[in-house]
Amino acid sequence: MIVERFAPSPTGLLHLGHAYSALLACDIAKATGGRFLVRIENTDAARCKPEYETALFEDLEWLGIDWETPVLRQTDRLDSYDNALDKLIDIGLCYPCSCTRSDIKNALSAPQEGAEPAFGPDGLIYPRTCCHRSMSERTAQDAIRLDMTKAVSMLTSELSFQEIGTDPHKTITIDPQPLITDCGDIVLARKDIATTAYHMSVVIDDAYQEVTHVTRGLDLASATSIHCLLQNLLGLPTPIYRHHRLIRDENGKRLAKRDDARSIRAYREQGLTPEDIREMVGLTS
């Protein structure tokens, strides 16, 4: 049975891009007699707000989307994330990091004045300043990073996933070397966040909820290599992925949560209907 999920972070109002992901995933689940779940990814306490959580449920209901209850909220799952993180720590793949964003910027710009520092799916590629530190030295001020070079060397099988957002569908084999050069030592737990960072909680919960199909925007496609790597290291299954086209504004810019003018809420207030929204995202029945 197909299990689809929509996993928003309540950090703003849902926009057309979210509506597209949620409607697409829900339509596929319905059409195949599968299950559709909503998961609240709310571990970033500084940015997540209860009012956005309330608003997103109202918007999803208004769109005509049905989801299973109870809804899983990531703040109820912190122990599971900690356990998974401990596994990676136990096998020697992690180190504590005290670098601030400006420490990282300074370290990256030092050798080649003027050259743009490289960005990976997780932000600036970390220059491994703290990689010599051991986990026993971790303080409350430290984040925890994955030593990507060691992680890649520990892979137990080839990394690959099924991509069904393309026509024809394809199996994507991931070359692990670019994970080292293009992603680098990603943060697994942030000092300023209750627990593990997005990449960890998302793979743990997709496995816990037995999600078979992940439907999400192409903006997250570059994170999928990281997710497959973590699934491999943690012995979790890899779902099938459908990375869908992004919904853009009239200037071709990707919609962002802070763009309230294009929020589902704003369209509702202007008197548009759920059918209008379906049409706007190209999902006419």
Q: Does 7 bind ligand GLU (CB under 6 A)?
A: yes
Q: What value does the CA radius of gyration of the chain take, rounded to a whole number of Å?
A: 20
Check the CA dihedral 146-152-158-162 and report its sign: positive
Distance of closest approach, residue 95 Cβ to ligand GLU, in angstroms: 26
Q: Does 231 bind ligand GLU (CB under 6 A)?
A: no
Q: Does 216 bind ligand GLU (CB under 6 A)?
A: yes
CA 222 to chain centre: 10
Distance of closest approach, residue 47 Cβ to ligand GLU, in angstroms: 11
Contacts of 211 (CB under 8 A, 6+ apart): 3, 4, 5, 37, 205, 239
Q: Which is nearer to ligand GLU, 107 or 221 (CB)?
A: 221
Going by DSSP bridges, is the β-strand pair 123-124/72-73 parallel, antiparallel, or unpaired?
Answer: unpaired
Q: Which stretch binds ligand GLU (CB under 6 A): 4-12, 131-139, 171-179, 268-276?
A: 4-12
Phi, psi of 207 (to 5 degrees): -70, -45
Q: Which of residues 162-201 bind ligand GLU (CB under 6 A)?
A: none
Q: Does 242 bind ligand GLU (CB under 6 A)?
A: no
Q: Does 59 bind ligand GLU (CB under 6 A)?
A: no
Amino acid type, 182: D
Count, residues near ligand GLU per rule CB under 6 A = 7
CB-based contact 197:81 (threshold 8 Å): no
Q: Binding ligand GLU by CB under 6 A: which of 202, 203, 204, 281?
A: 202
Distance of closest approach, residue 25 Cβ to ligand GLU, in angstroms: 9
* Tokens (6 digits) for 149: 């070079």
Say how far apart CA 186 and CA 156 lie, in whole Å: 20
Footprint on this chain of ligand GLU (rule: CB under 6 A): 7-9, 41, 202, 216, 220
